[in-house]
Amino acid sequence: MRIAFYAPLKPPTHPVPSGDRRMARLLMAALERANHRVELASRFRAWDGSGDPVRQQELADMGSHLARTLVRRYRDMAADARPELWFTYHLYYKAPDWLGPAVADAFDIPYVVAEASHAGKRAGGQWARGHAAAVAAIARADAIINLNPADIGGVTDVAQPSVIIVMLKPFLDGADLAAAAGRREALRAAAAARYDLDPTVPWLLTVAMMREGDKHASYRVLAEALARLKSEAWRLIVVGDGPARAVVEALFAAAAPKRVRLLGARHPEELADIYAAADLYVWPAINEAYGMTLLEAQAAGLPVVAGASGGVPTIVAADRSGILTPPGDADAFASAVRRLLTDGPKRRRMGEAAKETIACEHDIAAAAAVLDRTVRDAANRHRRLH
């Protein structure tokens, strides 16, 4: 099937690392693995983060213009080259889809959305224009794919009664991470020399952007938790960068002086080796939808300590592949980290369970099968109703 793909929040081709962009690229790759032909329809970013009605109207006007342009472009194509289905990833009131419904209506093709969310309280607020557009798009959908169970109730409130609802487990292509796990000892020795780390003590790892908001809040909880673990032996490796780097550095300098290695941003190809060299992944996950890095860490054989926010419990098996703590609770987080720091055999058992769980339940091959079935069911539904 020929599929037009669009991500209104963040274009998947943008070079700045982002879990959202990563998932968009993975969705495209999974659809292609299922033998669909996927084309990125537009890089237009429909996001308004400030709640500015004027900006929302400008985005709506730009979106309408781009939709008309796409319709003209597709009409100039041969019928057998046009999209047969439109697929939008991650739409909500701050980033509605101004393109997909118009194009889908123009060519009478199915419209599928993934990771859509609906917040009724935004109906009359600052984002009223974006909220209304998001509701209209969800109501137009032939299928809704949820990656976070917390979104299901909201979208079903505004979707068509006969819409296809699918729960897709967050996923990744973990082959490189699993392969790196098999070279752990060599990678650990190399990392110890490169970053001046003591290989005889456990290494904690965090991979996250450094920016204000939820990421800063998570770093703050992590620093507070580590300050409670001064009697334990450990080192923390942090991969990430961003506008709040100075603030994050100050947090760790106060909480854990001389125990933290800030590596800055690293190329994605380097991350597998860094994950595999570590012992335990730690991230408080404040308001995290699910967390791509939590998947990556487990795929590399790391157990996880994380806050039980949003969809995190769907990708970290509590007390099997990691330990989940109440979001924002630094005491509970410190206690969970201590349990695994002081119990090497349990840490290693959890790491093996994590790697197995990701390979069996969160791999791109399983996702490709679910997506293939979903887009075909959406096409059948659309034919029946139209």
- pLDDT value of position 171: 96
Cα 133 from chain centre: 23
**CB neighbour class for 223 (10 Å; exposed up to 12, middle 13-18, buried from 19):** buried
Q: What is the DSSP string of 138-183?
A: HHH-SEEEESSGGGHHHHHHHS-TT-EEEE----B--HHHHHHHTT
Domains of the chain by residue range: 2-171+363-385, 175-361
Q: What is the pLDDT of residue 379?
A: 97
DSSP annotation of 257 reads T
- C-alpha 375/C-alpha 31 separation (Å) is 9
Per-run averaged pLDDT (10 residues), the chain, 386 residues? 97 84 96 98 96 95 98 96 98 97 98 94 89 96 93 91 95 95 96 96 97 96 97 96 96 93 91 97 94 95 96 93 97 98 96 95 96 98 93
Alpha-carbon distance values, 239 to 25, 117, 214, 249, 338 (Å):
21, 30, 17, 12, 22
Q: Is 317 exposed, middle or buried (0-12, 13-18, 19+ CB in 10 A)?
A: middle
Per-residue pLDDT at 197: 96
What is the reported pLDDT for 96? 97
pLDDT for the residue numbered 248: 97
Could you tell me which residues come within 8 angstroms of residue 189 by beta carbon, excluding any fewer than 6 positions away?
A: 199
pLDDT of residue 235: 97
CATH topology (fold) of 175-361: Rossmann fold (3.40.50)
Output the pTM of the full model: 0.91
Q: Check: CATH 3.40.50.2000 for 2-171+363-385? A: yes
Q: Output the pLDDT for position 267.
A: 87
Are the folds of 2-171+363-385 and 175-361 the same?
yes
